[in-house]
Structure 1
Amino acid sequence: MSKQLSPPTPPEPAHARLARSSALEHVMTVVREDVRRGRYAPGARVVEAELQRNLGVSRGTVREALARLAAEGLLELHRFRGATVRSLSAQEVADLLDMREVLEGLVARKAALRVARGIDAQAVAHAQDALDAALAAGRPAQAYLQANARYHEALLAVAGSPGLSAQVDHLSTAFFRIAMAADLRRESFPSSNSDHRAITAAVLSGDAASAELLMRAHIRHTAFLLQAAAPYVDEKS
């Protein structure tokens, strides 16, 4: 008697694949943003059940998202503890800050060049206003750092380079988790914002060379402050 074969499994409908992919990207985006905003400090657990409940997605989707974020280097997966935000070694921090100086300088240059060609850069002016307001109101450090993140995002949008945007976005997630964890003193913020105002003026006037030089100097100064704080460094690395 011949053995009957099971019917082939029907392919997953296209709309189901799209929905699963969208849910996966949503979970990854939420975790990245929570790390950027300081909700998850280096070493903190990222709880699967909490994400599943808050985002209304399946356990499998959450696990796949966390696995992908671990592959990106944002998280570490542990057999019994689940996922945690990965700490960075001193060398990783130094390399990251060097790369950010170059890329953010290029962003400022491209933004200024596009302004010189007539591109509207009011988003940068508005982001600068938000930084000024956060500083003047004496808000917590986290609020100023979030306004800082929005400022750099506005510059990136005006620069109008999707390829550059992808590179900067990846670095920014790592950078802002360092900044949120570091014990930056509020006394450093006026100097930082003075840098921003000079960069903004150069960008809005279309002065590409000055915008790049000012941004690179600003990132170097920020790097010095972050490396001096250094609570985020994994000393075992």
Structure 2
Amino acid sequence: MLDLQAARLVAASTTDTRIGSTKKAKADSEYQTGHKQLKRLLQQLGVPNPIPYSTLGEWGGRWSKGDLSTWVHRREFVSTLVADTAATLTSIQGSGALVTASTTADPTWASLQDRIDGLARALEQARTDDDRQDVGRRAREILIDATSIIRDPDLVPDGDDEPKAADAKQWIGLYLKRYAAGSSHKELRVFVRATWDLAQRVTHSGVDHVEAYAAAQATVTVVRVLQLLESDSTERLE
């Protein structure tokens, strides 16, 4: 993926400028999708992302400067940009050492379905306060896992501290601010925040079956909403 992204940077800065706007848009969407995927893969390995450009437009603002006036200069710049990270990845690949950051697979929408099925069984079998609190705990962990799928440092405004990885409420809030912004989505954002608060309450307090059910059902709804937003954002890029 690192090689592919580097090749896309080179192609964008060495291709005939008369290329049509449709092809440019397609190339940019592919690059943006790849940028997001690369960041997640490198984060899993604990390796910094050497490519700071989230769009080809940002890259264009860099290569159009005078010090990168020729195609040769741009190729050399990209090669130097990714060289250290490429060497690090080659070293990891060739060492045969266990990569501890990857021993537990990152959650996916498919794997979350197993957690949701477990939540449904726990709710159905809940008879005591401890059982219902377990429903709240499961709901909260599902929201945290959903957060790990959508979490992206680019969502954090410049100058703000990045929320902790397990701070699902903050991360989902940042995600919705980017992909479900505006007054038309106000109620959706309120609902998501309330879902996290309810899951927390069910986890730590003595509640009845109705509240446990509400926390579980709301959690499933939030996961489905995030899944749809993620799918829609990818389709817009493509």
Give the alignment's TM-score, normalised by structure 1. 0.33
Higher relative contact order (CA 8 A, sep 6+): 1
Q: Which has the higher strand share?
A: 1
Q: Which has the higher helix share?
A: 2
